[in-house]
Amino acid sequence: MIKDYRPYYIKKIWYRFLHFYIRHKLSPQLKSLGKNPFIVKPWHIEIFGGPVSIGNNITLLGCSDKKTRLTVWSDKKDIRGIIIGDHVLISPGVRISAANHILIADSCMLASHVYITDSDWHGIYDRSMPSKEVSCVILEENVWVGDSAIICKGVTIGKNSIIGAGSVVTCDIPANVIAVGNPAKIIKKLDPDQSIITRKDRFSDTDDLKVTRNLKVTSKMTHLLESAEKENLQNNTLFGWIRSLIFPKKEI
């Protein structure tokens, strides 16, 4: 793990800047943004058009060479656009492009460079204008889509299913299966008796603690985390941090 040379007060300022950027730059572009978003490098998240709605506890990752793009392109006023549920993971380079409606349900995970679209964007014979065909894409709860996979228009992927890296999904995939290839085909069925731990299962206690009467517990946990971070960075200095930026040391 790369050592963090920032003094604690610099890191706190950085957190405040991130919060300010998300609240005043990113959030106004969305129809809604749920609570507790974890957004890394939000200036590399591009929102175009709308509506785009994002649920609670989202993990949304941007990267300078892998822009994450959420795009709604339509001249219609009553479309549902992009809806992203709770506890969803969206990795750098993901592109979601909607002409009508794309739903990413709770606990879905999208690896880097995944592309999801609900339209061909041009007609077969009239390529001068957008296609008039109305379609949608639905990823049900806890779907996992591998690196660089493509999800095409009109597709529904069932709950808990996995789409292999580089796959092209052109038709519906049922629940509890693994599908790979171009076009994607089912290669394995998941054991229905084997329980699956979702992102929502793993991180739901964040919400539970905040919406119940255990506010003292939440406050105590937050204080402990802040104290641990402060102790970890207590020996860092401003000069040492600047020096690490100019002359980085090789981490062992």
Domains of the chain: 31-211 (2.160.10.10)
Higher pLDDT pick, 98 / 217:
98
Q: Which of 44, 87, 101, 113 is catalytic?
A: 101
Q: What is the mean pLDDT of residues 183-210?
A: 81
Q: Residue 101 and residue 49: Cα distance in Å, rounded?
A: 13
Higher pLDDT pick, 6 / 66:
66
- Does residue 24 have an active-site annotation? no
Q: What is the pLDDT of residues 63-116, one digit of tens each?
A: 999 999 999 998 888 899 999 999 999 999 999 999 999 999 999 999 999 999
Give the per-residue pLDDT at 208: 47
**What is the residue type of 143?**
V
Residue 69: phi and psi, rounded to 5, are -125, 125
pLDDT at 228 over 80: no
Higher pLDDT pick, 209 / 100:
100
Q: What is the pTM of this model?
A: 0.84
Residue identified by tokens 């058009």 is 49
Q: Would you call 37 helix, strand, or coil by DSSP?
A: coil
pLDDT at 214 over 80: no
How does DSSP classify residue 251?
P
Return the percent helix, strand and coil in the chain, to nearest 5. 25, 25, 50
Among 80-84, 110-114, 159-163, 230-234, which is the least confidently predicted range?
230-234
How does DSSP classify residue 107?
T
Give the per-residue pLDDT at 225: 63
To the nearest 10 degrees (0 to 180), the angle between helices 8-21 and 215-232 is 130
